[in-house]
Amino acid sequence: DGGITQSPKYLFRKEGQNVTLSCEQNLNHDAMYWYRQDPGQGLRLIYYSQIVNDFQKGDIAEGYSVSREKKESFPLTVTSAQKNPTAFYLCASSIRLSRYSDTQYFGPGTRLTVL
């Protein structure tokens, strides 16, 4: 069953804690993305990766970090430096990162709440 999975579905963080959100895909896609969605808003790009061991900052990378050690996995860490982390986080993948956009396939999302 091909697809993109995210875990956990809900995550609660205390002030000052780092938390890591998981994203895994078995679509054999090269490109992966992390987005943040605030209530009633569109998506904003946090980080993206074109290939293993390479990633680039998106529009709102401050307070976040990522790694891409395997093609299938692109975890996102929300650090204590992110002052307003409560949001819905979406991971996506696409076949490749080329000059023209491809369809992006999204995971089900992780809702992060700061207590």
Q: What per-residue string of b and e applies to 16-31 under the rule 16 or more CB within 10 Å gives b?
A: eeebebebbbeeebbb
Choose which of 92, 93, 112, 114 interacts with another protein (CB under 8 A).
Answer: 92
Choose which of 2, 42, 83, 84 interacts with another protein (CB under 8 A).
Answer: 42
Choose which of 11, 45, 60, 61 interacts with another protein (CB under 8 A).
Answer: 45
The structure tokens listed for 100 are 């023209």
Comparing CB distances to another protein, the nearer of 13 and 44 is: 44
> How many Å apart are CA 81 and CA 49, to the nearest integer?
22
Q: How far is the CB of 35 from another protein (least distance, A)?
A: 8
Q: Which residues contact 42 (CB under 8 A, 6 or more apart)?
A: none
Segment contacting another protein by CB under 8 A, of 17-25, 63-71, 74-82, 84-92: 84-92
Q: Which residues contact 41 (CB under 8 A, 6 or more apart)?
A: none
Residue 84 lies near another protein (rule: CB under 8 A): no
Residues in touch with another protein (CB under 8 A): 6, 31, 35, 40-45, 48, 58, 88, 90, 92, 94, 96-109, 111
